[in-house]
């Protein structure tokens, strides 16, 4: 800027800088004022790349800077420009413009006012095309809303309170690795009044597995109300998942019915990690292994049921998902079955919820991470 009303334009004297700004979707401008009014404006060549309009277009139409603003944004832009012209600080405004080709673009306008003896003499400005960033933000917001919905569905499906079962103590936990989990667990009541426990894991992470988890969880609840045979429940869920889900999706599921009179477990397991029973002396009393393939893999799979796994006084049973067994250490060792069983043996006398808290603490300690790489879900049943 030389004398008032006379200006030099650095980008015009440096073509290399002008080309860089133009390639980056950025242009600079200057507005000169005289006696409170606009005396002149200049725009670098990048204005055409960002808005579609050239310096000569701005010369012919001094109001072009506002007429190209999206109608819904004009009032706010005018308000902020006036405020910027009275501010000693730089002002950033983000708004939409109508490009010469008719498309809508988002721009960020940075305005730097200059004063002489308290009078505004010019404003230097920089306009950036931020359309891609705005689109990314909208996409992220959309995905966040989807995940929030999935998270809320999961929250409502998960049990809020442990059931009161005579002679037993029970606790469960689900700690998602991401915003929404592919795991689930639940406490159910069979048609004959027997309590039941279910724990499942959908392959993969993110929004898709979370929705499939919610669907499978709902199917388990519905079928439990109308069917008492575990093999039939598994077969019907498998048939639905095989027909309706993608080929690379499957569900592992462990379902156990607890018969109070005989204090025995009847269970079926579709490709799920074992459940473990530790007796009062700390011995591994039973390992409840999978009885069939994961759900959704084979159309004609059968699901054998194992009966009469007896639970005695002071026995502790742990049901879990593979996120626990496969938690990695920094050296890639897995937490594994041996550590899991040993932890259950060493802490078998603690309350069920304390065992779960201890397990999560040990997993974080083992992995050196506060947020684990997979969902962590477990249910502990203690016979008092």
Give the list of residues 6+ apart from residue 165 with CB closer than 8 angstroms, or none. Answer: 195, 258, 260
The DSSP annotation for 49-112 comes to HHHS--HHHHHH-TTHHHHTB-TTTHHHHHHHHHHHHT-SS-EEEEEEEE-TTS-EEEEEEEEE
Q: Which residue has the higher pLDDT, 212 or 223?
A: 223
In this predicted structure, the answer to whether residue 11 has a pLDDT above a threshold of 50 is no
Condensed to tens digits (0 to 9), the pLDDT of residues 216-238 reads 999 999 999 999 999 999 999 99
Q: Do 115 and 88 form a contact (C-beta atoms < 8 A)?
A: yes
pLDDT of 12 > 90? The answer is no
Tokens at residue 88, please? 């000693």
Q: Place 145 in a pLDDT band, splitting at 50, 70 and 90.
A: confident
- Which burial class, exposed, middle or buried, applies to 314 when counting CB atoms under 10 A from its CB (0-12, 13-18, 19+)? middle
pLDDT of residue 3: 41
Q: CATH topology of 10-129 equal to that of 146-383? A: no
What confidence score (pLDDT) does residue 237 get? 96
Nearest to 107 by CA among 55, 45, 152, 51: 51
Using only the alpha carbons of the chain, give its radius of gyration: 33
Least confident of 140-154, 180-194, 263-277: 140-154
Whether residue 4 has pLDDT greater than 60: no
Sign of CA dihedral 183, 188, 191, 193: positive
All structural domains of the chain with their residue ranges? 10-129, 146-383
Say how far apart CA 162 and CA 294 lie, in whole Å. 27
pLDDT of residue 16: 66
Question: Quick one: pLDDT at residue 332?
Answer: 92
Over the chain, what is the mean pLDDT?
88
pLDDT score, position 226:
92
Quick check: helix, strand or coil at residue 244? helix
How much of the chain is helix, strand and coil, in % rounded to 5?
35, 30, 35
Least confident of 176-180, 335-339, 360-364: 176-180
Q: What is the pTM assigned to this prediction?
A: 0.68
Q: What is the pLDDT of residues 361-371, one digit of tens each?
A: 999 999 998 77
Q: What is the CATH number of domain 146-383?
A: 3.60.40.10
Q: What are 285-337's pLDDT values in tens digits?
A: 999 999 999 999 999 899 999 999 999 999 999 999 999 999 999 999 999 99
How much is the average pLDDT of 171-184?
A: 84
User: Using a CB cutoff of 8 Å and minimum separation of 24, what contacts does 77-82 make?
Assistant: 81/111
Nearest to 150 by CA among 215, 246, 238, 245: 215
Torsion from C-alpha of 205, 209, 214, 220, nearest 10 degrees = -110
> The tokens 């290399």 sit on which residue?
16
Q: Averaged over 153-177, what is the pLDDT?
A: 87
Task: Render pLDDT for 40-99 as a digit per residue (tens, 0 to 9).
Answer: 888 888 888 899 999 899 889 988 999 999 999 999 999 999 999 888 889 999 999 999
pLDDT in tens, 149-159: 767 777 777 88
Q: State the fold for domain 10-129.
A: Beta-Lactamase (3.30.450)
């Amino acid at each position: 800027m030389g004398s008032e009303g006379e200006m030099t334009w650095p980008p015009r004297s440096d073509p290399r800088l002008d080309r860089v700004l133009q390639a980056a979707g950025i242009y600079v401008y200057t507005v000169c004022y005289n006696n409170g009014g606009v005396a002149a404006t200049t725009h670098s060549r990048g204005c055409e790349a960002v808005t579609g309009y050239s310096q000569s277009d701005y010369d012919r139409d001094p109001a072009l800077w506002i007429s190209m603003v999206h109608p819904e944004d004009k009032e706010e832009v005018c308000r902020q420009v006036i405020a910027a012209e009275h501010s000693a600080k730089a002002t950033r405004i983000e708004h939409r413009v109508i490009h010469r080709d008719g498309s809508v673009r988002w721009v960020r306008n940075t305005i730097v006012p200059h004063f002489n003896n308290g009078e505004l003499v010019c404003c230097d400005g920089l306009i950036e095309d931020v359309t891609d960033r705005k689109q990314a933000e909208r996409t992220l917001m959309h995905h966040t809303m989807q995940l929030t919905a999935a998270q809320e569905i999961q929250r409502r499906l998960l049990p809020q309170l442990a059931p009161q079962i005579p002679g037993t103590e029970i606790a469960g936990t689900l700690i998602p690795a991401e915003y929404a989990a592919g795991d689930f667990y639940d406490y159910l009541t069979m048609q004959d009044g027997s309590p039941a426990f279910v724990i499942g894991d959908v392959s993969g992470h993110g929004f898709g597995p979370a929705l499939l988890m919610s669907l499978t969880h709902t199917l388990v609840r519905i079928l439990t109300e109308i069917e008492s045979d575990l093999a039939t429940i598994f077969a019907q869920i498998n048939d639905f998942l095989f027909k309706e889900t993608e080929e690379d999706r499957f569900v592992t599921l462990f379902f156990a019915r607890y018969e109070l009179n005989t204090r025995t477990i009847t269970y079926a397991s579709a490709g799920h990690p074992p459940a473990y029973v530790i007796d009062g002396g700390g011995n591994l009393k039973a390992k409840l292994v999978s009885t069939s393939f994961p759900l959704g893999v084979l159309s004609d799979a059968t699901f054998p049921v194992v009966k009469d796994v007896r639970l005695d006084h002071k026995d502790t049973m742990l049901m879990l998902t593979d996120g626990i067994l496969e938690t990695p250490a920094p050296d890639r060792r897995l937490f594994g079955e041996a550590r899991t069983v040993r932890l259950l043996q060493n802490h078998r006398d603690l309350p069920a919820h304390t065992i779960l808290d201890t397990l999560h603490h040990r997993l974080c300690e083992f992995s050196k991470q506060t947020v684990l790489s997979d969902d962590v879900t477990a249910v502990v049943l203690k016979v008092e």
